[in-house]
């Protein structure tokens, strides 16, 4: 049997791997599945149609799979899916999606610090760090290896790009481009995220060619007199390199009808 504290309430219909640990006074609902090695500490509530993978650590007071804070929600069957190796610190909240059959997703190896709120229909990729007191509104998407500073809000439908760095207490009401550092209220692109590029190995990739191409892309986008449309055209010769192609594709898609457009430069 799983290691379940006598004061915890685990519904007989829940499916817990034998190696799962459940702490005092935690509550696990009927339609919850939890994978091997996951630790649920005290006073955690996990409910709804929720799937949690292996080797996660969920700290006291967190709630996962509760109904969305969305007035459109009418009781549809919706889901939360959390991958492997995630850390959800104290009082993190992850709400299930709003529409029938829809899913709120947290990928793998993410760190969500205390009081982070992940609203309905959010999609988080892998190796993301979100500092204390961050609120993600509905339908926010965050790509892998982004880092988000503390005590800030992210507007609904905003996308945050791969390896972006968002400074604490910023106002994020438009898309954050990949590989960029964004900060302020109103937020502005300040520089390339060189720390993230160095840690990931991209600064030295292909003999430094990738980093030089990203520097050129940054200058075209944020230090020239070109419009965004003109800068994207000028970027096309550099798109033989995957990171630049990803940046180009992100910014092109950011101008779509359901997107809020990218945060501008200073």
- Total domains in the chain come to 1
pLDDT tens digit sequence for 169-199: 999 999 999 999 999 999 999 999 999 999 9
**3-state DSSP call for residue 135?**
strand
How far apart (Å, rounded) are the C-alpha atoms in residues 50 and 59? 17
How far apart (Å, rounded) are the C-alpha atoms in residues 236 and 215? 14
> pLDDT value at position 258?
78
pLDDT tens digit sequence for 231-263: 999 999 999 999 999 999 999 999 877 788 999
Angle between helices 242-254 and 228-235 (to 10 degrees): 150
203 within a domain of the structure (yes/no): no
14 within a domain of the structure (yes/no): yes
**Above 80 in pLDDT, residue 2?**
no
Pairing of strands 87-88, 111-112: parallel
10 within a domain of the structure (yes/no): yes
> pLDDT value at position 54?
98
Chain-centroid distance of CA 245 in Å reads 21
149 within a domain of the structure (yes/no): no
Mean pLDDT of 130-136: 98
What are 232-239's contacts with CB under 8 Å, separation 24+? 238/213
CATH number of the domain where residue 18 is located: 2.160.10.10
243 within a domain of the structure (yes/no): no
Chain mean pLDDT for the chain: 97
How far apart (Å, rounded) are the C-alpha atoms in residues 144 and 124? 8
Q: Which two tokens stand for residue 187?
A: 């937020």
> pLDDT value at position 175?
97
> pLDDT value at position 118?
99
Sheet with 187-192: list strands edge to edge: 3-4, 21-22, 39-40, 57-58, 87-88, 111-112, 129-130, 147-148, 165-166, 180-184, 187-192
Mean pLDDT of 123-150: 98
- Percentage of residues of the chain with pLDDT beyond 70: 99
pTM for the predicted model, two decimal places: 0.97
**Above 80 in pLDDT, residue 227?**
yes
DSSP-assigned letter for residue 127: S
> pLDDT value at position 168?
98
**Above 70 in pLDDT, residue 32?**
yes
Structural domain harbouring 31:
3-139
68 within a domain of the structure (yes/no): yes
pLDDT tens digit sequence for 65-113: 999 999 999 999 999 999 999 999 999 999 999 999 999 999 999 999 9
> pLDDT value at position 100?
98
> pLDDT value at position 255?
86
Q: Which residue has the tokens 């649920």?
A: 40
- Percentage of residues of the chain with pLDDT beyond 90: 95
């Amino acid at each position: 049997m799983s290691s379940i504290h006598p004061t915890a309430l685990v519904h007989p219909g829940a499916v817990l791997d034998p190696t799962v640990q459940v702490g005092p006074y935690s509550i696990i609902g009927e339609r919850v599945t939890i994978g091997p090695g996951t630790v649920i500490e005290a006073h955690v509530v996990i409910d709804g149609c929720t799937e949690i993978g292996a080797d996660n650590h969920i700290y006291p007071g967190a709630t996962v799979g509760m109904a969305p804070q969305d007035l459109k929600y009418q009781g549809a069957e919706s889901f939360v899916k959390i991958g492997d190796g995630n850390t959800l610190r104290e009082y993190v909240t992850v709400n299930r999606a709003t529409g029938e059959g829809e899913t709120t997703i947290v990928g793998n190896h993410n760190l969500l610090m205390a009081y982070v709120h992940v609203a309905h229909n959010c999609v988080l990729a892998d190796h993301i760090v979100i500092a204390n007191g961050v609120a993600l509104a509905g339908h926010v998407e965050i790509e892998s290896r982004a880092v988000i500073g503390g005590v800030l809000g992210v507007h609904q439908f905003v996308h945050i790009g791969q390896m972006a760095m968002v400074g604490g207490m910023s106002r994020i009401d438009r898309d954050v481009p990949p590989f960029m550092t964004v900060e302020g209220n109103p937020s502005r692109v300040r520089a390339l995220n060189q720390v993230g590029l160095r840690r990931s190995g991209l600064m030295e990739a292909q003999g430094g060619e990738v980093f030089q191409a990203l520097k050129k892309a940054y200058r075209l986008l944020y230090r020239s007199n070109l419009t965004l449309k003109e800068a994207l055209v000028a970027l096309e010769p550099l798109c033989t390199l995957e990171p630049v192609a990803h940046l180009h594709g992100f910014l092109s898609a950011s101008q779509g009808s359901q997107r809020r457009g990218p945060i501008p430069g200073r």
